[in-house]
Amino acid sequence: MNATPLAPTAAGRLFFLDWLRILAFALLVPYHVGMYYVSWDWHVKSPHAGGAIEPLMMLTSPWRLSLLFFIGGAATQALLRRESGLGFVGQRSSRLLWPLLFGMLVIVPPQAYVQALTQLGFVGDYGAFMQRYLQGGKLCSGANCIDLPTWNHLWFLPYLWVYSLIAWALVRWAPKLLDAAAARLPVGPWGLLLGLALPTMAARLMYGLFPSTHNLTWDWYNHAQYLWAFGLGIVGARAGDRLWAGLQAQRWRALGLAFAGWALLCLYFFGPWHDQTMPDGLLTAQRLLWGATQWWAIVAACGFARRWLDHDGPWRRRLTGAVFCLYVMHQTVIVLLAWWLQPLALPPVPEGLLLIAATFAASGAVYLAARHVPVLAGLLGIVRAKPLPSGLPARSLA
């Protein structure tokens, strides 16, 4: 395999992607707190739910998860550079599937219980619900149903696992194909901002036929956008500094385009005609713009991160070890706290800020406690970094 250095740093590590991964996972907390207050469907809803903050939520809706898959692709390439045999499959399976199983049995059920109580009219204590949960099938109230058991927000883990196995197979049996793609990766303004946006634009056109389901076996729209982002991360990491330098060079153009796209999408979704039936041509244009905005925001995020965050430090190492646990824990914490706070009838702004702060605090407390219990640490995805001897490079992005 023709391995190209991941970055021009002495350690060969893309520190800016570490920081970007930390920030992207941290962004999940305010976003999912926001889901409590918007009119969109979610596991528990505030009495104040409405459209007030939906334009703000749209700032990140098109791109936040694609960014995580893009970073995941680059991280997977770094891992494959160290281990491309069956050891990689075992490492990825242990790292992703044990937290998934533990999450579905322990972390996620409280979310489903609150949803069953508040939206499906379930009557019974948590023990009775868990008996029903483990039986499987659907729990319904009319047309409103939830699948049991469920992975809820942990859907990212099985998707990342499957994509990682695809990457492993390509690296083992078709490395020249990946190298050719890396060599031909466009890095000029037109190719980077438009050419690489075309797949996400095409993926968004699938949305009408294949809505987002988070069902691994029938989620073709999400596979189209996320597998592309993941694959681009793989190819970009193999291309060395060419792509990262291009992203940095185009960061201001990409930022302007992303904000313009967001403004036009808000005009479409929240303008005075938002509740009217849109012409097919306008609907197609909106979907193409969504896909382009998705990529432009990723370019801007990576470009500015490379410019300002490509450095190491103790906080990067600490937070890199903690964000996986935050991801596993955060949504259950939000759902339970929101449900417990409802009888207090707090105003939405202080309540929302309290939910954000309390979620970070509670998830951080779980991390600080669990990292000292090896089995629990593994089940929550916590990997303790070993102290580095002086002069040795940091471990690869993981």
Per the CB < 8 A criterion, the answer to whether 113 and 272 are in contact is no
Give the model's pLDDT for residue 45: 97
| pTM across the whole model | 0.93
The pair of structure tokens assigned to 234 is 């793989």
The pair of structure tokens assigned to 163 is 């994509």
Give the model's pLDDT for residue 384: 67
Instruction: Report residue 84's pLDDT band, with 50, 70 and 90 as the boundaries.
Output: confident
Domain spans, the chain? 15-108+151-379
Distance from C-alpha of 148 to C-alpha of 285, rounded to nearest angstrom: 37
DSSP string, 318-330: HHHHHHHHHHHHH
Q: Is residue 357 pLDDT above 60, yes or no?
A: yes
Q: What is the mean pLDDT of residues 304-325?
A: 95
Q: What is the mean pLDDT of residues 374-384?
A: 91
Give the model's pLDDT for residue 273: 80
Q: What is the mean pLDDT of residues 189-200?
A: 97
Distance from C-alpha of 273 to C-alpha of 260, rounded to nearest angstrom: 19
Give the model's pLDDT for residue 390: 36
Lookup result for tokens 């989620």: 219
Q: What is the mean pLDDT of residues 341-359?
A: 98
Mean pLDDT of the chain: 92
